[in-house]
Structure 1
Amino acid sequence: MKKVNIPYILKYESHKCHTMNLYIDFASQRLRVDNYRGNIASIVTRAEEVAIDHSLSKIIIKAKEGDWRQLVSNGYQLEGIIEGYFSGSDAYFMTYYLSDDRRISKYWKKEDKIIKSVTELSDHEQNQTLPSGYTIRLATKEDASSLAKLYHLVFPSYPTPMNEENYIGKVIDEGTIFYIVEWKNEIVSAASAEVNTDDHNAEMTDCATLPEHRKHGFMKVLITELEKRLIKQNIYCSYSLARAQSFGMNAVFWKLGYRYNGRLTKNCEIFGELEDMNLWVKKLDATHVDKS
């Protein structure tokens, strides 16, 4: 029988001492606790049980203000902060490693140099315009097949199955927003905002451009359009995880007013290996974005 590849499981657990939403990520060998209530000691114990049961090597808990210090006492470490993540309250990315190999990054100093170079750039971005022949628009579910083709061409491997039409259609139905740039009726660049309506935040993600069209800087245009759309939906906390070795993507977020708020070690499986990811955060300001 052919083995079925299941990239992740979303799971809600309720125990007498706690409740929590789990993201069991097989592709990146990690467990993420996205939201929780109850006894922290009980949550820590259960998270480790789940990680061991599924042979995962990293646990991430998006901790609340009153809990991160107790997690430090339980062997967790702070890798990043998202201001305003929980409907205006901050989230603390607390991580725990189940192996020494997962804990150690061999590119850390190189990535420090990239961040230093990025933050020495001007942090002001002029208004972007599309070159002649290119158009930008909000994607619909009918674009799922073309988006899947784009992601398949750009990413040989990725944390989520973005090369599958049905998956993209599903996330659009669930509220993820995609903006696309087209050239000769072909999608050549795209980015998305994964909207969390419960906590009123959004993750900028799935940024991809075909190599022959990258010189035009489409990501700045796409992310700006996504920000306008989020403000219309009363979402004011925007964040993103950018590949720590990508000067270009980190520069995009810096120039658009995002703040570097930490680095997550060996966080995502991209291009066949676990990569460090830089955390960028921005408070969207409705007074500076046209809501028309």
Structure 2
Amino acid sequence: MDNPLQQKLIKKQGYTLNITFDRFNRRVRVDDYLGNFNGCMTEAIHLAADSDAEKLIVKARHENFQELISRGFLYEGCVDKYFLGSDCFFFAKYFQSNRRSSDKWTEADNILDGVLSLPKKASIAPPQGYQVRKASEEDVSGLADLYGHVFKIYPVPMNQPEYVKKCMQSGTVFYIYEYEGHIVSAASAEVNETYHNAEITDCATLPEHRQFGLMKLLIAKLEEYLADHQIYCVYSIARALSYGMNAVFFQLGYGYRGRLANNCYIFDKIEDMNLWVKN
């Protein structure tokens, strides 16, 4: 199995850098840092340039906001209470102009305007025959089949059972809906035990089952699980051009916190992603 993500912990004189190299999405991401901030950013920019990345993402703390602006980084969004109650700010530096520009930005703005004007409404249980439960390692093949059917392109190889299993073993929690013995909808929570936050991700429903609002119910189940395990900061990124997924998060009480430009490859192209947060 070829894993496109390579995580490294870099320890040098005066600082420590936790960084992820994402070959498939042609980006590098600073997930955490400690010590001399200027040294951290100089190292991160150097590593991103050496790896031919088109975009460098930094998950930054409030005290480093102005420093990143002064180094030419662009502010793209935030996650409230990400660092054990302190906000996380997403900054980006682009190494290619075409990676920065998005010809769908106005269309995404129009979609967001429509979503933000939606009335809040309660979820309704699906028809008889749909069963919801927490997934186990026995479900990895069914999950991989689901993701392979729904997504032509995905940022990580969720269509490979071994990769799904690895996600579970590293702490990612999946909830699923089954119909007639087959997984028809799924969503996961990637838990960060260090900072007690979680990203809702890997949301997929087969087209013929999308009229019943299964995703809203699955995310609500994940939220219950996370609250029971002392995870109170929950966030997600949704395709900016997906009216349905953005509507799901808005109607579940998530707040819009920004847009990550040309963030990852999904479906059939690189796409902007909207950031949604719930505490």
Alpha-carbon distance in 1 for matches of 2:103, 2:41: 28
- Normalised to the residue count of structure 2, the TM-score between the two structures is 0.98
Q: 1:53-68 residue pairs with structure 2 within 5 A?
A: 53-68=50-65
Structure 2 stretches lacking a partner, 5+ long: none
Q: CA deviation at 1:5?
A: 4.3
Percent identity over paired residues: 48
Q: Do the aligned partners of 1:189 and 1:210 also contact (CA within 8 Å) in 2?
A: yes
Alpha-carbon distance in 2 for matches of 1:161, 1:199: 26
Structure 1 stretches lacking a partner, 5+ long: 284-292
Alpha-carbon distance in 2 for matches of 1:126, 1:70: 43
Q: CA deviation at 1:23?
A: 1.0
Alpha-carbon distance in 2 for matches of 1:41, 1:270: 33
Q: Do the aligned partners of 1:9 and 1:25 also contact (CA within 8 Å) in 2?
A: yes
Q: Secondary structure at the match of 1:245?
A: coil
Alpha-carbon distance in 2 for matches of 1:23, 1:155: 23
Alpha-carbon distance in 2 for matches of 1:67, 1:244: 27
User: Given the alignment of the two structures, is residue 227 of structure 1 paired with residue 234 of structure 2, yes or no?
Assistant: no
Q: CA deviation at 1:103?
A: 0.6
Counterpart residue number, 2:10: 13
Corresponding residue to 1:257 among 241, 253, 256: 253
Give deviations 1:83-103, integer Å, cap 9, x for gaps. Answer: 000011100001110111111
Alpha-carbon distance in 2 for matches of 1:199, 1:160: 23
User: Given the alignment of the two structures, is residue 209 of structure 1 paired with residue 212 of structure 2, yes or no?
Assistant: no
Counterpart residue number, 1:140: 136
Alpha-carbon distance in 2 for matches of 1:134, 1:271: 26
Q: 1:231-246 residue pairs with structure 2 within 5 A?
A: 231-246=227-242
Q: CA deviation at 1:250?
A: 0.2
Q: CA deviation at 1:42?
A: 1.2
Alpha-carbon distance in 1 for matches of 2:268, 2:4: 14
Q: CA deviation at 1:272?
A: 3.1
Alpha-carbon distance in 2 for matches of 1:104, 1:190: 32
Q: Secondary structure at the match of 1:67?
A: helix
User: Given the alignment of the two structures, is residue 69 of structure 1 paired with residue 66 of structure 2, yes or no?
Assistant: yes
- Relative to 1, partners in 2 of residues 1:127 and 1:213: Cα closer, same or farther, differing over 3 Å? closer
Q: Do the aligned partners of 1:128 and 1:220 also contact (CA within 8 Å) in 2?
A: no
Corresponding residue to 2:125 among 124, 129, 135: 129
Q: How many residues align?
A: 279
Alpha-carbon distance in 1 for matches of 2:107, 2:87: 29
Corresponding residue to 1:110 among 107, 111, 120: 107
Amino acid aligned to 1:70: E
> Which segments of structure 1 move beyond 2 Å, counting only runs of 4 or more?
none
Q: Secondary structure at the match of 1:21?
A: strand
Q: Do the aligned partners of 1:7 and 1:26 also contact (CA within 8 Å) in 2?
A: yes
Q: 1:185-200 residue pairs with structure 2 within 5 A?
A: 185-200=181-196
Q: Do the aligned partners of 2:3 and 2:157 also contact (CA within 8 Å) in 1?
A: no
- Normalised to the residue count of structure 1, the TM-score between the two structures is 0.94
Give deviations 1:72-129, integer Å, cap 9, x for gaps. Answer: 000001100100000111000011101111110110001000000000001x231431
Q: Do the aligned partners of 1:40 and 1:71 also contact (CA within 8 Å) in 2?
A: no
Alpha-carbon distance in 2 for matches of 1:79, 1:92: 8
Amino acid aligned to 1:64: R
Q: CA deviation at 1:199?
A: 0.7
